[in-house]
Amino acid sequence: MAYDLLKGKRGIIFGALDSNSIAWKTAERVHEEGGKFVLTNAPIAMRMGQIKELAQKTGSEIIPADATSEDDLGNLVNESVKILGGKLDFVLHSIGMSVNVRKGRAYTDQNYDFSHKGWDISALSFHRVMQTLFKADAMNEWGSIVALTYMAAQRTFPDYNDMADNKAYLESVARSFGYFFGKEKKVRVNTISQSPTPTTAGQGVKGFDGFITYADKMSPLGNATALECADYTVTLFSDLTKKVTMQNLFHDGGFSNTGVSKEVMDNFTE
């Protein structure tokens, strides 16, 4: 169901790879709610994914950008404002990658070049994106910037590896930059801490299937899907959440506040 929540609003959506990705679902929902946007991803990810299909479906243009390059981001922001015909109202940062995870390196045996690369792409890129927007004065007042995160920033999930550290850094950037963006531009900055979700990125984590099942049994409402995350993101892009900023918002069916559930206990008792 559509409510025209984003009618007349303009933005940029980072990270749509394929129809499993949260950014993809968000783009579809933003389009349904009347928002216009530019899609962007790293050139290599664009070759792997099906972003052109999404662009056609939503009437959007694509601008490739490496989120670790200030030049690329500067070009992306300037071009987006031109294409969309004005300043931006929303931005979704849905970017994450760990080379250590991809190469099967344990947390206790990190290759620090890999760690640095993963941090640059997954976490520092959020600061880069916001600094680019801030310096270009590219956001409208009461605009909204959202990044996707995961609860491994607060609690240990052994196989999440160095991505946990990246997400902790990302959440800190949201609070720190959120202060300045709020104070000077009336723009809000939040992170959504989503349930484990079977996206292309998520499935790279070892033992992921078992973990999704566990989280589902732990959450009173069950795991939140990618589409439900897209719905929640739409509310944060809308004018209904104008005073919500610098928050890490758990969107996980109650997992984050559940000590243990009956279903999980039943597995350990006879």
Q: Is beta strand 10-14 parallel, antiparallel or unpaired with respect to 36-40?
A: parallel
Predicted model pTM: 0.97
Lookup: tokens for 251: 């969107």
Q: Domain 10-266: what homologous superfamily?
A: NAD(P)-binding Rossmann-like Domain (3.40.50.720)
Lookup: tokens for 222: 């069950």
The stretch 14-24 carries a mean pLDDT of 96
Interval 192-244: pLDDT, tens? 999 999 887 777 677 778 889 999 999 999 999 999 999 999 999 999 999 99
Whether the predicted pLDDT of 270 surpasses 90? no
DSSP assignments along 127-152, one per residue: HHHHHHHHHTT-EEEEEEEEEEE-GG
Interval 28-37: pLDDT, tens? 999 999 999 9
The stretch 149-178 carries a mean pLDDT of 97
Tell me the pLDDT of the chain averaged across its residues.
96
Whether the predicted pLDDT of 45 surpasses 90? no
DSSP state of 6: T
For residue 29, CA distances in Å to 3, 35, 37, 59, 213 come to 11, 9, 12, 13, 26
DSSP assignments along 59-91, one per residue: T-EE----TT-HHHHHHHHHHHHHHHTS-EEEE
The stretch 46-67 carries a mean pLDDT of 93
Neighbours of 183 (CB within 10 A): 9
> What is the C-alpha separation between 270 and 263, in angstroms, rounded?
12
Whether the predicted pLDDT of 48 surpasses 80? no
